[in-house]
Amino acid sequence: MYMDVITREILFNRVRSWMLEAGAFIRHKINDPLVINTKSNPKDLVTEMDRKVEFFFASKIKRYYPDHLLLSEEGYGDKLADTSGTVWVIDPIDGTMNFVHQKQNFAISIGIYDQGVGEIGFIYDVMRNNLFSAMRKNGAYKNDQRLPRLDENKSLNESIICLNHYWLTENRLVDEKVMQQLIKDVRGTRTYGSAALEFSYVAEGSADAYITMGLEPWDFAAGKIIVQEVGGVTTNITGEEVGMLDRTSIVTCNPSIQGFLIEYLMKAKK
Ligand code: IPD
Ligand code: CA
Ligand code: CA
């Protein structure tokens, strides 16, 4: 059973206003001194702001939707055994390194799944005040503008691909020689340092694919829904469907180049 349309619309509008409120708070505090900590390794940063924003949404969910569940990065979430129920998948700041070093190029990302089906997605580019949103089978928007469906005639040599350059160095996951060939065969590559923003660029067609070797559910939950609403596709690097609970590799792209990308990646996989 899908979520009913009225419930979904009310939920969508509430999340939208909370996103805007959280974004305004971040902009207001953007020049305040930061408390920065590291998590799994010295490059894995977290700030007080990551925790505050997640707490803001966790408190709203508890108050307005006590029967909903939360899957999130910074510790206010629930432990989920499966995909049942209505689940908010939240990354309070995606692109924390950019937040710390650049004070821009980060996003709040929220995907809402009902019984495992992606119903609502929001990616908020806070500093540019661009809000990407989508509801299942209702199209995707950048602010109030509906995003057009992706160009079905895109070729690889006209495509811009977002990549994380880290795994183009010698690594244990992919044969870097094959990846180097892919880079030669596309028009250009970009690295933005925020998975959520990279999904939103694929959705608006300013990039044609985003490929990465490992993302957590909160990095891609919203993006997958938004990309799907413009006719884009999201799988792992071997072309399989990705679940909303697990860490996975990701290829999100214009469908006209998907076959080529998966072919390169299958060849490159170690
Ligand atoms: C990270 C960013 C980055 C991606 C990492 C993510 P965070 O999220 O999306 O672009 O390469 O895999 O973990 O830690 O800034 O929320
Ligand atoms: Ca993230
Ligand atoms: Ca984060």
Q: What is the pLDDT of residues 114-138, one digit of tens each?
A: 999 999 999 999 999 999 999 999 9
Q: Catalytic one among 114, 216, 219, 229?
A: 219
CB 238 within 8 A of CB 110: no
pLDDT of 230 higher than 80:
yes
Mean pLDDT of 36-58: 91
194 lines ligand 1 (CB under 6 A): yes
Q: What is the rounded distance in angstroms from the CA atom of residue 238 to the CA atom of residue 248?
A: 11
Query: What DSSP string runs through 182-219?
Result: HHHHSSEEE--S-HHHHHHHHHHTSSSEEEEEEE-HHH
* Nearest residue to 248 via CA among 211, 193, 222: 211
Q: Which residue reads 């070797």 in tokens?
A: 213
pLDDT of 167 higher than 80:
no
Residue 143 CA to ligand 2 centre (angstroms): 22
Query: 121 or 35: whose pLDDT is higher?
Result: 121
| Residue 4: active-site member | no
Q: What is the pLDDT of residues 182-219, one digit of tens each?
A: 999 999 999 999 999 999 999 999 999 999 999 999 99
| Number of other residues whose CB lies within 10 A of the CB of residue 59 | 11
CB 207 within 8 A of CB 190: yes
Query: 21 or 6: whose pLDDT is higher?
Result: 21
**Burial letters for 93-129: b for 16+ Cβ neighbours within 10 Å, e otherwise?**
bbbbebbbeeeebbbbbbbbbbeeebbbbbbbbbbee
Residue 46 CA to ligand 3 centre (angstroms): 7
Instruction: Give the ligand 1 atom nearest the CA of 46.
Output: 14
Q: Percent of the chain at pLDDT above 70?
A: 99
Looking at residue 165, what is its pLDDT? 80
Q: Catalytic one among 26, 50, 61, 73?
A: 73
Mean pLDDT of 85-92: 97
CA dist 6 → 12, 82, 172 (Å):
10, 26, 48
219 lines ligand 1 (CB under 6 A): yes
Looking at residue 34, what is its pLDDT? 86
pLDDT of 94 higher than 90:
yes
pLDDT category, 269, cuts 50, 70, 90?
A: confident
96 lines ligand 1 (CB under 6 A): yes
Residue 96 CA to ligand 2 centre (angstroms): 8
Query: 44 or 265: whose pLDDT is higher?
Result: 265
CB 244 within 8 A of CB 89: yes
Q: What is the rounded distance in angstroms from the CA atom of residue 202 to the CA atom of residue 188?
A: 14
CA dist 76 → 52, 60, 83, 123, 181 (Å):
10, 12, 18, 20, 42
Helix axes 195-204, 217-228, angle to 10 degrees: 10
Looking at residue 42, what is its pLDDT? 87
Q: What is the rounded distance in angstroms from the CA atom of residue 249 to the CA atom of residue 236?
A: 5
Structure tokens at 26: 């971040």
pLDDT of 65 higher than 80:
yes
CB 199 within 8 A of CB 210: yes
Residue 266 CA to ligand 3 centre (angstroms): 29
Mean pLDDT of 236-260: 96
